[in-house]
Chain A
Amino acid sequence: MSLAVFMIALATAINGRLSGLNTDTALVKLPARRRIGAVAYAAFARGNDLGNGLVVYPLLGVGAALLTLLATALAYAEHAPIELSLPLSLASLLSLLHTFATIRAAPVMLSIKDAPDDEALLTLKLDRFARWHAVRATFQVLAFLVLLWALVVR
């Protein structure tokens, strides 16, 4: 197995885990705020996203983007055919877009840490976070699928 294939496989694995986490947050975790209320959900988020999440999510997010960019750079350095460089370039672009959406989403979540337990204020913040999270989850899932495509054509 060449270094390029190893890097694509590793990038696919990490992006796959992140896609799963993002999908779970968008479809299972965040909708729960409508059933238990924003104050209760914010208490959960302070213990979860702002607890272990502060270590796990950035590690996975930054790791996935870096590995994708590295795999793409390696493919270009090895003069990979267009069939491979195209999906890898697309995956890199999607990773950058995911990073951009995270830059918009993360401060909203971080601001919940010290926000007062005000239902209206927290609803506003969580709704805003949910919108940006939906955007980044879409980019992340697409990046994972495109990396799988790259792995198959390789």
Chain B
Amino acid sequence: MVAFSAYNRAADMGTGGLVLYAGVGSCGLVLALVVAAVAFFQQMSPVHAVPIYLATGFWVLHMLITLTRAAPTLLSQRRYEKDEHALAAIFDRFERWQTVRVLMDVLIFGTMLWTLLTYVN
């Protein structure tokens, strides 16, 4: 656990992780909100609008879980760098939230593809 924590702090909490994850996450949410706003104000037909609203909803849920659960859990490992048991508990908790986030990610990706497909033919 101590070794994995050292890796994790260098990767996920390193420059690459912070830039890529925060950048992609923020841009994804903002773009989804903009698309949902456009769909709302242009009064798009439900065929196109429903998957857009769903994807945006999943994005908001994803961000809420990330900001209130997953990220604080991961960041808390800094306080227990050498404590094997505390780190095990932290990573177990993070794994549970990460599983929920992955589910959200797949749903976002699926509904985005669904949106694109509504414009095919």
Contacts and interface: CB of A to CB of B under 8 A. Distances in A.
Interface of A: 1, 5, 9, 12-13, 16-17, 23-24, 27-29, 31-32, 35-36, 40-41, 43-44, 47, 148, 151-152, 154
Secondary structure at chain A's binding surface: helix, strand, loop or mixed?
A: helix
A151 B7 contact: no
B89 interface: no
B109 A40 contact: no
Contacts of A17: 109
Contacts of B7: 32, 36, 40-41, 44
A151 B11 CA distance: 34
A41 B14 CA distance: 14
A13 B12 contact: no
Contact of B116 (A29, A32, A44, A151): A151
20 contacts: A9-B116, A9-B117, A23-B20, A27-B19, A27-B20, A28-B12, A28-B17, A31-B11, A31-B14, A32-B14, A32-B16, A35-B10, A35-B14, A36-B10, A40-B7, A43-B3, A44-B7, A151-B117, A152-B119, A154-B121
Nearest to A35: B10
Contacts of B11: 28-29, 31-32
Nearest to B19: A27
Contact of A13 (B10, B21, B113, B120): B113
A31 B16 CA distance: 8
A9 B109 CA distance: 11
Contacts of A29: 11
B4 interface: yes
